[in-house]
Structure 1
Amino acid sequence: MTDYTFPADLVQAQSAWYAAYRQLAAEESPARTTVLRRRLQRLSVEIATHPYWADIPGHAPAARMALKEMAWEGHRP
């Protein structure tokens, strides 16, 4: 696997995505689930459109997986 150096704001957004996803999975209040779903959508757009991806043409899919794995490791219970 190639090593990637991700910008801090991108790592934070992916970590926040996992945190919101976990909150959504545990939430029972319909009003709160709507808020969390909207947060997930905003974070998904922020992650997908981050300028970092333009700097690594051809390697973006592998880099996206590396980012997800790194963020997942940081949020395991």
Structure 2
Amino acid sequence: MTANSNKRSSTVWTPPTSPDDLVQTQAAWNATYNALAVPQRRDTEAFRRRLLRLSVRLWWHPYWNTARSVPAARTGLRQLARTRGAARAA
């Protein structure tokens, strides 16, 4: 066991095949979720429908049939999409 073994890794997960469509879908899901979270928004129905469609695309993407550790890969995907989204906003 190393001295840093219990610390979080600062590296970002990258899938071996780099499914860009999956990362883009996760980024779109994040943006839609954030738009839906705006208080006193009136057009929530369209955002809810979009969030549901994106959730289905994320859940049933063919990549998950080949991923070794699906829970870790899903977490890594969310982190990667957030990182790329923050980089684009900067």
| Higher percent of residues as helix | 1
Between structure 1 and structure 2, the one with the greater Rg is 2
How many positions carry a matched residue from both structures? Answer: 75
Q: Secondary structure at the match of 1:26?
A: coil
Stretches of structure 1 lacking an aligned partner (at least 5 in a row): none
RMSD of aligned alpha carbons = 1.9
**Residue 27 of structure 1 contacts residue 33 of structure 1 at CA under 8 Å; is this kept in 2?**
no
Q: 2:29 aligns with which of 17, 26, 43?
A: 17
With the length of structure 1 as denominator, give the TM-score of the two structures: 0.83
Answering whether residue 85 of structure 2 is matched by residue 75 of structure 1, we say yes
Stretches of structure 2 lacking an aligned partner (at least 5 in a row): 1-8
Q: Percent identity among equivalent residues?
A: 41
- Distance in structure 1 (CA, Å) of the matches to 2:23 and 2:35: 18
